[in-house]
Structure 1
């Protein structure tokens, strides 16, 4: 498999811990054929120490391409070995997490967004990862950490990593991270978005590719970013909480493809086959009905019958043993007119002006002092 076989990552779904698992990605791919999908972050140590159980962590169906594996870690030896082990699973890109502010990651594990403070190590890590795979590599990061939040410091990070490694693609979450005193959820809300930093990176590093992330909640807003010159857009929670309203428009509105015309009823019929094939596969009744059905709970957001569907689902989780019986018990809550409506119906909502005047806000141009930047 190779990334060149697919349309470019104009739109991708962000890696989200405990959310973008195999079940969600299966649903996402049924809705959108062209969105790029990311795994949850996997610690390199998990991959290395679970060599006898890799299918559980790295396995996925071929239909999920194009798909990116995101790994995290702070030990070069484990990053090298994890990348090597992942080769058998034919991911289309390997992404290195330098953006997660979770205390479990940035604190005890000393990786995630803390690594932005050590760009020399990130350059070494990316070189090691690239040396052990034949697919492209990328970095996902923030625009800064704590008081290290100037545009020049961000540029120093990008310059060092790209100069010391083959990394040519960066996904930029356009908020800085605060490591002390606030939760990961607050880190997605409290630090202000600075889209001007992202667009200044496009200006100052014309040989690199940048994907914008953070605060973009619809295909309307994704297209607004692309119109202003973004190379690609990554959407997180909106793609999870509103999959039909968000992913349902990606292929037509972002990629210009004709509508597949697929309905939610047809999607659920295909998902039923998937679900019944994986129930209990890991032993000890895992995954169970609740785990497999979890991504579906947002499929009828804002539609008639949505509240009743969720209540019926809560009840069905207690006793249903197959996806078939789960759907028989719950889908009676949803009108046929909703189940049989074709994908991408209606006009997507969103802020057309999200990036208005962003080019008027750009910081002064970055000029790398090469030796100082690389070896400081």
Structure 2
């Protein structure tokens, strides 16, 4: 999951803990938690919070998909936290699917440390290739910024080869390939690309099955 931090002049992928923000009770608990952590001598130092601006309805009648769409986003709650607790840093999560969304929220709240984008990036990662230029006015720190998708695939292929030296390709090949599947989302012949990747993903398992079949034919 990509995460943009004002203090870093580059985009970094980072998996972060999400705090689900409710209307009253959960907001109060978060504030109480931060108040407790002011006492550094007892609980240590906690100063950075990633806040999800949508409540989580814990009900059997509410599916994960419902939780991503039905509860209203409360960006104003996150901004209120930023204003009330300037000694802490906050990042906003929830409902942000593009660089335009990220830039809008960062401009609306100058003291917001960063934003998180999950599904939007997973659906079309190349659309975020200009993130540094858009969010940081061209002041990108990427010395080896990829020029095109092919360059990304070549570098990712090296990473995939290294991983398969450590782990069984039969078990991890499809998982590795999945991350590269949406790279050509919305582009001509994108479907052919995905079909080719799917074939590559299934090769280790197919070869294993063929090997077992040949072993069974041996006298």
TM-score when scaled to structure 1? Answer: 0.46
Unaligned runs of 5+ in 1: 1-7, 13-32, 40-69, 71-96, 98-139, 322-376
SS in 2 for 1:193: coil
C-alpha separation in 1, matches of 2:97 and 2:20: 18
**Alpha carbons 1:144, 1:177 under 8 Å: kept:** yes
Question: What is the CA deviation profile of residues 122-167 of structure 1, one whole-angstrom value per residue up to 9, with x for unaligned ones?
Answer: xxxxxxxxxxxxxxxxxx312128x735x44443343334445411
Question: What is the CA deviation profile of residues 268-312 of structure 1, one whole-angstrom value per residue up to 9, with x for unaligned ones?
Answer: 111121112212522473322x22211110000101111122123
Match of 1:238 among 120, 125, 135: 120
Deviation at 1:11, TM superposition (A): 9.3
**Alpha carbons 1:11, 1:234 under 8 Å: kept:** no
TM-score when scaled to structure 2? Answer: 0.76
Larger helix proportion of the pair: 2
Partner of 1:9: 5
Question: What is the CA deviation profile of residues 180-227 of structure 1, one whole-angstrom value per residue up to 9, with x for unaligned ones?
Answer: 222333222222100010010111111110001101111111111111
Match of 2:167 among 265, 279, 282: 282
Q: Which aligned pairs between 1:69-80 and structure 2 lie closer than 5 A?
A: none
- Which segment drifts farther, 260-269 or 276-285? 276-285
* TM-aligned CA distance change 1:162 to 1:193, over 3 Å: farther
**Alpha carbons 2:7, 2:113 under 8 Å: kept:** no
C-alpha separation in 2, matches of 1:306 and 1:276: 23
| Structure 1 vs Structure 2 CA RMSD | 2.7
Specify the structure having the higher radius of gyration (Cα): 2
C-alpha separation in 2, matches of 1:11 and 1:142: 24
Q: Which aligned pairs between 1:160-179 and structure 2 lie closer than 5 A?
A: 160-163=36-39, 164-179=43-58
Partner of 1:224: 104
C-alpha separation in 1, matches of 2:77 and 2:164: 45
Q: Which aligned pairs between 1:108-147 and structure 2 lie closer than 5 A?
A: 140-144=18-22
Unaligned runs of 5+ in 2: 206-219
Partner of 1:299: 183
C-alpha separation in 1, matches of 2:72 and 2:90: 20
Does residue 251 (structure 1) correspond to residue 128 (structure 2)? The answer is: no
C-alpha separation in 1, matches of 2:92 and 2:119: 15
* TM-aligned CA distance change 1:154 to 1:318, over 3 Å: closer
C-alpha separation in 1, matches of 2:116 and 2:7: 6
Q: Which aligned pairs between 1:359-370 and structure 2 lie closer than 5 A?
A: none
Partner of 1:310: 194
Partner of 1:38: 14
